[in-house]
Structure formats: C-alpha cells, structure tokens
Structure 1
Amino acid sequence: MKKLPLHAEKPLITKKQYEAMYPKENETELAHLYFISKPHKISTPLRPIVAGIHAPATLISKYLDESLRPIFNRVARKTIYINSLDLVKQLENYERDGNLSSSTKFITADVKNLCTMIPKGGALDALYRFCVKHGKDGNIGNLSINTIIRLACLVLDTNCFVFDNKYYKQIRGGAMGSPFTMTLANIYMYEWEQSLIQHQQIRNELYGRYIDDIFMTSNESIENIKALLDQANEKDPNI
C-alpha cells in the first residue's frame, strides 16, 4: 500500500510573531500588586494595579493590544472622547447644530471597575464577534481570529501576581497594567453601549465615553432619562 505523504500543520503564528511574543527568560518575573489612590472619588478608594511589565504573557498582551487597539479606535471614534478638548469640540458642534437649549441636560455616569469587572467568557465572546465583524477573511492582520482568541485566553489565564508575600491568580477581568486589558474592556463595553448610542443618535444627542466615564446630553424629561439609565444598568450585571 502506498503511503500518503504527511503534511505538517501550518503554524498558528509566524517565526517573527513568535519571537515578538516569547518572554525574555532572563528578564521574566512574577507580577506584583500595588494600589494608587483615587482622590477625586468619595472616600478616596484605591485602584489596584498589577505591575507585570516582565510577566510571562506581557509581550503577548502587548502584541494583541497593538493589533486590535487601532481597529477599535477607528470603529468607535465617534463615541470615544480622546481628551477634554475633544469633548468641548463636540459640544460646540452640538450647539452650532441648534441642539443646545434651555432644557438640555448634561449627564455623567461612571463604569465601576471597568477592567476588573468583565467576565472572561463574556469578554472573549465579545472579542470574537468584534473580530468577525471588523476582520477580513477570518483574520485580523496576519493573525487568524481563532489564534487571537487563544492568545487572549492565555493572557487572561496567566494573570498571576504576588501581594503581601502571598501568591494569587486573578480569575475575573483583566489585570490593570496589562496592555491588552483596556482594549478588551473597551470592546466589551462598546457592545454593551450600543443601545445607548443608537438612542442618542436618533435624537441628535451626544454620547461618548472616556475610559470609564460616560457623558451624554439629553432634552428629555428627568423621568425618561432615569428610566433609560436604569434599563442600561440592568442590561448586564457586570457593568
């Protein structure tokens, strides 16, 4: 019987990608947890930061961030505030278009613990849908979507750190300090906020978010605004 030739499986990543993501063994170290205060918040709560600049999966996290962040920034540009000046310009356009009146209300909302609250499964599902919608031929750049999901799993599954001489593994959300965490949280949030975005666009109102701070305008009644926000708040228990 003639033997069929064996075909090696095509690598999921190229040699160049492998070298870019592989940890430098002589520099690798376990991440550690520290806290910074948030003096602008009531009672001055603490923000947990995982310092993992030399953690094993940091280069993978960085590679994913560099691959996906530009796509997210392009897709969500109209609903993301870059800085305070960007918000001022949008308000000027809002006024110029005749939408600002004596009944206009400015609404602010805060997303509590944006990066650390996202569930792993939900975040990966949102990431997959985002990649399918905005990728090309099943790829984002020269990475397949399935490879991106596998790499994202690796980053989320290796969020280990030391604090007070004890070892921990983060089982929910992403590590504050890991490059990919913010992009993943933004993708998850972008899917969640679509109903609010559409509601605002239909009424020629502003909606935008700067990381975990939301700003909106409205000419509706206080009762309608509260109902809208309550509905949004109940949409996902993680937000």
Structure 2
Amino acid sequence: MISKEIETFEQMIHMDIRKLQFNINKSKFKPKNLTPSEYKGYIQLKQDHDLVIKSADKGGGVVVLDREQYHQEAMRLLSDQSTYQILNTDPTNSIKELFSEFLQKGKDKGILNDREFKYLKVDHPRIPVFYHLPKLHKNNINPPGRPIVSGINSVSCKISEYIDHLLQPLVVKTSAYLKDTITVLHLLQDLTWEEGFLMATCDVSSLYTIISHEAGCEAVEFFLRQADVFVDEQVDFILKGIRLILHNNYFWYHDTYYLQTHGTAMGTRFAPSYANLFMAHWENSAVWTGHGWGSSLVLYKCYIDDILIIWKGTKVQLEDFISHLNHNPLGIKLEYNISCEQVNFLDLNLYVKEGHIETSTH
C-alpha cells in the first residue's frame, strides 16, 4: 500500500501545479518553443469552443475534432443499451454508503488494517466523467471512439488501486504477458526469421465492454487461487470489491448520469489487470491446451487487447487457427492482419530483413 506520507506529498505537488497553472493563466505566458504564428494558432485553438482536442487512441498523436462530431460519437457509444443505462438522479451518496460498508467489513475481518482502511475510504468523492479517444488507426475521417471513464478521486478509485496492486503480480506471470514495447524488442532480438514464417497481429474488438462480470470474476478467482498466497477470506474480499466496482460503475456525460451494466470501463485503475487475466484465462484453453498448434506457434504474446503471432506454416493454417480463436462463448472477436513482410504492432512497424525482424516507430 502507498504510505500516508507519499499520499500527502502527492497532494502537495498537485496543489503547487494548480497554483502554477493559475499564475500562468493570469499572466501573459508565452511558450518559448513556439514561433509567433504557431503561438497565434495555439491561442485560436484554445479559444475555439466548437473544437475538441484529444489524444489519439494509439500512436501518441493529437486529434482536433468538431465538437458536434465528437458528441455524436459519444452518444453513439452511450446508446448501446446492452452496456449503458441512463440514471434519473446522481447515485453518488448511495454508492458511497455501499463502499463504506464494504471497507468496514474488511476492517472488521482483519483483512484491512487501520492505515489501509483510512487510505481506501474516500470521504468526498468526485463524480466520474465519460470521454472517448479517437481511433485514428480505424478511420481518420470519422474515427470511432474508445470509451473511457475518468474516475480520479471517485468513490471507487482507491479500492480499484488496491485491487490492481494485488492483481498485477498475477498478470506478469501469465504465459502471453507483454509489459511494453521494450519487451517486444527484446523478444524479437532473439528470434531468427525462417522461410515459411508468417506474422499476424490481432486486435480484440471492444475488449473492455465485452467482458461479462461473471467471466471476468471467474478468471480473477482462478488466478488468485492458483497463486496460493491468499486465504479464502482474502479471495472473497477481492472478488466482492471487483463486483462492487463493476456493478456501480456510474459516470456523467452531457448533463446525464449513466451506469455501465456490462464490462468494465477503461479508466478504472484495475481494468488493465482485470482484462489481462480474462484474456489469459481464455488463452489457457483456447491457445495453450490440447489443440496441436505447438509446432506452428513460434510466438504468441498479448498486450491487453493486442496480440502478436509468429507462425510457421501456411496462411490458410494460420487463418484456421484465428478462426478457432474466434469461435468462443465469451464474445472475443479478433480483427487480424497477416503478412510475411511487415505488420504494425503497438507503436512499432515490424518488418523482415536479412533473416531477422527489424522495427521502426509506427
């Protein structure tokens, strides 16, 4: 757990940043790395309330969107009644009570000590806010959005952080786990490209919203018990905490309160770990167990919803393997690209040169 001293230090830094931002806004601050014409454009963009400026979902770019276009995509996402439900009132107080009761039970059972209890309890929660990041890699004219709920200082933020702290060690031990781009580079450095090899990248469509609460919690429980370091009461407490967050994942957008009824939103702290364990649990049966792919599957690695495959065999055989993966009861659907020359994975361009896979920034 993060100490109270670190938390206090973090709060002091945030206060200093807010003061700095206030002073910058009040002064005639001009960035030194902009030319006069660039600075003029910066001011015009800042003052144009008909535009929305967001980071691209992938690649680190900046996207400038018409506000109405951005709003229409948000409403398209939120109109999915199988995932989102409109609420008539602000549920913050009632949900806060549920989380307080949960933490008190954890303290009473000795699962949480006094310091942990105080840290995890949010007395003055903020209302989570919905936004989306444009997927330019899908469509650079009308990019679909990746839904995100910003839960900073929300009623569930500390508990989500606590759960993530417990799940992360389980995630890194899963068979297909990829930490980051650097890990990919190290893996490819040791791989010799042979004739008959193929590369494939797969993207799980809408991973965060397809995970049913039952399937996600089943996966987490499997890895918690497999780790053999948690007593039954701890496992039960962690699973109850996850379900509490999932069933009370509410947020605000455009003067309306919503509840997410299916899946978990990007934005809550434990979501990547939760999604990783869901994928790993599925891969245990779909990829690694008893399907005879071993001689062909040179490499299979997964970064949350992005999969990299190196395959020894024909394109038809690889397509059969991916088709096998796509036939599952969990709603997992892989969009894929196969090539013997080059593919894009995460922020890398992978290409074959002189018997090795070389990379460049994508």
Q: Distance in 1 between matches of 2:156 and 2:297?
A: 43
1:93, distance to aligned residue in structure 2 (A): 1.6
Larger radius of gyration, structure 1 or 2?
Answer: 2
2:87 paired residue number: none
1:237, distance to aligned residue in structure 2 (A): 3.8
2:313 paired residue number: 220
CA contact (8 A) 1:162 1:168 kept: yes
Residue 122 (structure 2) pairs with residue 32 (structure 1): no
Task: Tell me the amino acid that sits aligned with residue 252 of structure 2.
Answer: V
Task: Tell me the amino acid that sits aligned with residue 327 of structure 2.
Answer: E
CA contact (8 A) 2:298 2:309 kept: yes
Task: Tell me the amino acid that sits aligned with residue 130 of structure 2.
Answer: L
Cα 1:132–1:38, aligned 2, differ >3 Å: closer, same or farther? same
2:278 paired residue number: 188
Q: Provide, for residues 143-193 of structure 1, a one-character-per-residue CA deviation record: whole Å limited to 9, x for no partner.
A: 711111111111112200011111111011112110011111110001112
Cα 1:137–1:12, aligned 2, differ >3 Å: closer, same or farther? closer
2:176 paired residue number: 79
Task: Tell me the amino acid that sits aligned with residue 313 of structure 2.
Answer: E
2:210 paired residue number: 117
Cα 1:115–1:105, aligned 2, differ >3 Å: closer, same or farther? same
1:22, distance to aligned residue in structure 2 (A): 0.8
Q: Distance in 2 between matches of 1:54 and 1:17?
A: 16
Residue 323 (structure 2) pairs with residue 233 (structure 1): no
Q: Distance in 1 between matches of 2:274 and 2:149?
A: 16
CA contact (8 A) 2:279 2:304 kept: no
CA contact (8 A) 2:275 2:304 kept: no
Q: Distance in 2 between matches of 1:71 and 1:208?
A: 16
1:89, distance to aligned residue in structure 2 (A): 2.4
Of the structure 1 ranges 199-208 and 168-177, higher mean CA displacement relative to structure 2 is found in 199-208
Cα 1:89–1:137, aligned 2, differ >3 Å: closer, same or farther? closer
Cα 1:41–1:202, aligned 2, differ >3 Å: closer, same or farther? same
Correspondence list, 1:57-136, <5 A: 57-73=156-172, 75-76=173-174, 79-95=176-192, 100-136=193-229
Identity %: 25
CA contact (8 A) 1:200 1:206 kept: no
* Root-mean-square deviation (Å): 2.0
CA contact (8 A) 2:251 2:259 kept: yes
Aligned residues: 220
Cα 1:124–1:237, aligned 2, differ >3 Å: closer, same or farther? closer
Correspondence list, 1:192-207, <5 A: 192-194=282-284, 195-197=286-288, 201-203=294-296, 205-207=298-300
Q: Distance in 2 between matches of 1:204 and 1:157?
A: 38
1:231, distance to aligned residue in structure 2 (A): 1.1
Residue 243 (structure 2) pairs with residue 146 (structure 1): no
TM-score (norm 1): 0.84
Q: Distance in 2 between matches of 1:94 and 1:235?
A: 31
Bigger RCO of structures 1 and 2 (CA < 8 A, at least 6 apart): 1
Aligned with 2:316: secondary structure? helix
Q: Provide, for residues 79-110 of structure 1, a one-character-per-residue CA deviation record: whole Å limited to 9, x for no partner.
A: 22233332232223221xxxx21210001100
CA contact (8 A) 1:103 1:219 kept: yes
Q: Provide, for residues 56-86 of structure 1, a one-character-per-residue CA deviation record: whole Å limited to 9, x for no partner.
A: 111100100011112311x12x522233332
Q: Distance in 2 between matches of 1:137 and 1:60?
A: 17
Q: Distance in 2 between matches of 1:200 and 1:15?
A: 51
Cα 1:117–1:204, aligned 2, differ >3 Å: closer, same or farther? closer
2:28 paired residue number: none
CA contact (8 A) 1:119 1:238 kept: no
Q: Distance in 2 between matches of 1:232 and 1:126?
A: 17
Aligned with 1:88: secondary structure? helix
1:203, distance to aligned residue in structure 2 (A): 4.3
1:112, distance to aligned residue in structure 2 (A): 1.1
